[in-house]
Amino acid sequence: MTTPDTPTESATPARPHRPRRPRSTGSMQARTLAGYAGTYVVLAVAAVLTLGPFLFSVMTAFTSSTQFAQEGPLAIPAPPVIDNIIELFTSADGFVTPVAVTVQMVAVILVGQMVFSVLAAYAFAQLRFPGRDLLFWVYIATLMVPQVVVVVPLYLMMSEMGLRNTFWALILPFVLGSPYAIFLLRENFRGVPSELMDAMRIDGAGTLRLLWHLVVPLNRPIVVTLVLITVVTHWNNFMWPMVITSGPEWRVITVATSALQSQYNNNWTLVMAGTTLAMLPLVILMIVFQKQITSSVGDTTMR
């Protein structure tokens, strides 16, 4: 007999240990390489679909009308010509006036939006006043209203004030700030360390000095990004300028490009030259300020 303190031997014999077979490293590497290859194929297809229309536009803009008619739209310019660009600026309904009007419109809207958006965002982020949060969210709620809904009321307002087909009609609906810019700036301004702001206040800095010498420099990447977004948005604005203006006097570049398609229906080289010219400044801005855009996106994500 066994005592309670003496362990009994198991009646079932222990199973022999079988070593696990190592997985095939070759098959794992093959699957990894196949995954990378599939990713690059998808990215390459997406890049072709995205960049293809722009490349086609540039190629056609520097192709002579004779070569385009003989060889088709996919022919490489041989040799490249600038006759289409010259014709755009020398014809009666050329691009001189639209480019000038568009540059002035974008410049005024950019200055107005950045100044008023920065001031409003600072007020919503740092100042204390009754109804601040309610007013902010009511204003931000206007982002959910499509632009097409407010076109008719804005048109009636401008017509009643006698501003239809004027430069003021192009800029007034947009110059006093942007809900999106105010929202983005407010979220970034709230992250400014209060210790730095208190230190500048002790040194005698007022609100404007505090804003322009501390808050804005600390948020320079997001400010640069908003500048680019504003320029791109209003350079590409088409519906409102088309509705509120008529004739060539205050025609912007998007409306002028659209007019080329109806005026020169068969001259696609001239139409593509206008399209290329319209998108060229935006491409240059993107290339020049891509580091600031990447930095602002990273900072916003971290916050």
Query: Closest by alpha carbon to 153, among 161, 254, 250?
Result: 161
63-77, 109-123, 185-199 — most confident range: 109-123
Residues contacting 284, CB < 8 A, separation 6+: none
Cis peptide before 79 (omega within 30 of 0): yes
Name the residue with higher pLDDT: 84 or 301: 84
Instruction: Provide the pLDDT for residue 1.
Output: 45
Mean pLDDT of the region 94-120? 92
Q: Is the pLDDT of residue 100 over 60?
A: yes
Query: Closest by alpha carbon to 185, among 224, 225, 132, 222?
Result: 222
Give the pLDDT band of residue 295 (cuts 50, 70, 90): low
What tens digit of pLDDT does each residue of 281-291 get? 888 888 887 77
Which pair of tokens denotes residue 260? Answer: 């080329």
The CA-atom distances, in angstroms, between 101 and each of 167, 170, 225 are 8, 10, 23
Q: Which of the 8 DSSP states describes residue 85?
A: H
Instruction: Provide the pLDDT for residue 297.
Output: 60
Mean pLDDT of the region 91-101? 84
Instruction: Provide the pLDDT for residue 102.
Output: 93
Q: Is the pLDDT of residue 22 over 60?
A: no
State the alpha helices, DSSP H only, in 172-212: 179-189, 194-202, 207-210
Name the residue with higher pLDDT: 301 or 114: 114
Instruction: Provide the pLDDT for residue 244.
Output: 92
Instruction: Provide the pLDDT for residue 258.
Output: 84
Q: Is the pLDDT of residue 249 over 50?
A: yes
Instruction: Provide the pLDDT for residue 42.
Output: 92
Burial-class residue 256 by CB neighbours within 10 Å (0-12, 13-18, 19+): buried
Rounded CA separation 41/36 (Å): 9
Instruction: Provide the pLDDT for residue 87.
Output: 85
Query: Closest by alpha carbon to 88, among 99, 76, 104, 101?
Result: 99
Q: What percent of the chain has pLDDT over 70?
A: 87
- Its pTM stands at 0.78
Rounded CA separation 219/216 (Å): 5
Q: Is the pLDDT of residue 207 over 90?
A: no
Mean pLDDT of the region 31-51? 87
Q: Are 192 and 218 in contact (CB under 8 A)?
A: yes
Instruction: Provide the pLDDT for residue 37.
Output: 87
Instruction: Provide the pLDDT for residue 15.
Output: 57
What tens digit of pLDDT does each residue of 221-241 get? 888 888 988 999 999 999 999
